[in-house]
């Protein structure tokens, strides 16, 4: 019989304990990784309800909550102090997770703007497109990208995320560069400093594939504008529809969203047939069934 020395037995036991500890750490790591991949949530871009909000903000927010929406993106709403925005949202039982706002206020008075949006309670802020003075030429566009990169780094340190929302024009090109404008912007900025808030309908209108572009932006696309659009011919007026009633391939989009790590699907509809409350409710029903957010 092969008899082991007692010290060798003790060492083996120590190794076993260490191995068990390593397994526990590994299991914890897996658990945390799974937690970090929590199901995407859903929100309402309040720009969808901008017209009724002009007449009755309190009633509009109340109706949004009654539909089932819990989170909103603040945009297109009456111009109010941060405290009043927060109070109106609190009263309605809503929470603002993001806001559309220009970069210029941050460049003029950074602390004031950060305090404003933190009072509202958002986690992300960003414009609805490139600054007006940075659109004309490639040099202008690159200058805009630099401004985003600098501001995004500052906002990140302050606990906010800077986002960029596209329209169809970002899929056009400058004569001297083979890349589309949105590619130039993202390739010229640090993903940690500028997040891609892809507007999926405008991606489609820009003749790009929404799901493919989501996959292309993996790692920097934390939130998207979930928006649908009817199939149309070139030159025709864009016709937006409730989610699931247009031309977007939502099966592919949600699959891409899981791969890319999308955290928020923010429903938006610029216009539509009938009441915005009706198409916002139809889109809530669609989105809540397709995500774990409802």
Give the tens place of pLDDT for each residue, 53-88.
999 999 999 999 999 999 999 999 999 999 999 999
- Tell me: do 45 and 32 sit in the same domain: no
* Alpha-carbon distances of 4 from 8, 18, 136, 169, rounded to whole Å: 6, 20, 80, 76
- Tell me: do 134 and 68 sit in the same domain: yes
- Tell me: do 131 and 11 sit in the same domain: no
- Tell me: do 64 and 122 sit in the same domain: yes
- Tell me: do 245 and 148 sit in the same domain: yes
Q: What is the pTM of this model?
A: 0.86
Q: Which domain holds residue 25?
A: 1-36
36 phi and psi, to 5 degrees? Answer: -70, -20
Q: Is the pLDDT of residue 35 over 90?
A: no
- Tell me: do 48 and 184 sit in the same domain: yes
- Cα(40)–Cα(75) distance, integer angstroms: 21
Does an H or E element contain 264, and which?
A: strand 264-267
Tokens of 100: 């559309």
- Tell me: do 197 and 273 sit in the same domain: yes
Please compute the mean of the pLDDT values over residues 143-164 and round it to a whole number. Answer: 98
Q: Which long-range contacts (CB under 8 A, 24 or more apart) does 106-112 make?
A: 106/151, 106/154, 106/155, 107/147, 107/151, 110/154, 110/158
- Tell me: do 24 and 134 sit in the same domain: no
- Tell me: do 32 and 173 sit in the same domain: no
- Tell me: do 3 and 63 sit in the same domain: no
- Tell me: do 159 and 216 sit in the same domain: yes
- Indicate the number of domains in the chain: 2
- Tell me: do 109 and 25 sit in the same domain: no
Q: Look up the CATH number of the domain holding residue 73.
A: 3.20.20.150
Pairing state of beta strands 71-74 and 41-45? parallel
- pLDDT category, 37, cuts 50, 70, 90? low
- Total residues belonging to the chain: 294
pLDDT at 236: 81
């Amino acid at each position: 019989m092969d008899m082991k020395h007692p010290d060798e037995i003790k060492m083996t036991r120590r190794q076993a304990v260490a191995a068990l500890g390593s397994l526990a750490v590994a299991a914890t790591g897996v658990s945390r990784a799974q937690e970090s991949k929590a199901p995407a949530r859903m929100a309402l871009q309040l720009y969808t309800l901008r017209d009724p909000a002009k007449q009755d903000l309190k009633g509009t927010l109340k109706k949004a909550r009654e539909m089932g929406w819990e989170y909103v993106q603040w945009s297109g709403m009456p111009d109010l102090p941060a405290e009043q925005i927060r109070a109106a949202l609190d009263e309605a039982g809503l929470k603002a997770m993001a806001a559309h706002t220009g970069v210029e206020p941050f460049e003029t008075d950074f602390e004031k703007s950060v305090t404003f949006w933190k009072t509202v309670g958002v986690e992300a802020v960003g414009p609805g497109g490139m600054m007006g003075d940075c659109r004309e030429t490639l040099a202008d566009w690159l200058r805009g990208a630099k401004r985003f990169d600098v501001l995004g780094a500052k906002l990140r340190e302050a606990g906010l995320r800077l986002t960029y929302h596209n329209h169809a024009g970002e899929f056009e090109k400058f004569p001297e560069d083979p890349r589309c404008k949105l590619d130039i912007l993202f390739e010229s900025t640090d993903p940690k400093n500028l997040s891609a808030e892809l507007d999926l309908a405008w991606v489609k209108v820009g003749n790009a594939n929404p799901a493919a572009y989501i996959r292309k932006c993996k790692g920097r696309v934390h939130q998207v504008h979930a928006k649908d659009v009817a199939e149309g011919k070139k030159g025709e007026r864009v016709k937006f529809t409730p989610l699931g009633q247009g031309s977007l391939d939502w099966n592919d989009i949600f699959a891409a969203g899981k791969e890319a790590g999308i955290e928020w699907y923010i429903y938006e509809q610029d216009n539509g047939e009938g009441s915005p409350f009706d198409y916002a409710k139809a889109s809530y029903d669609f989105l809540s069934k397709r995500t774990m957010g409802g």
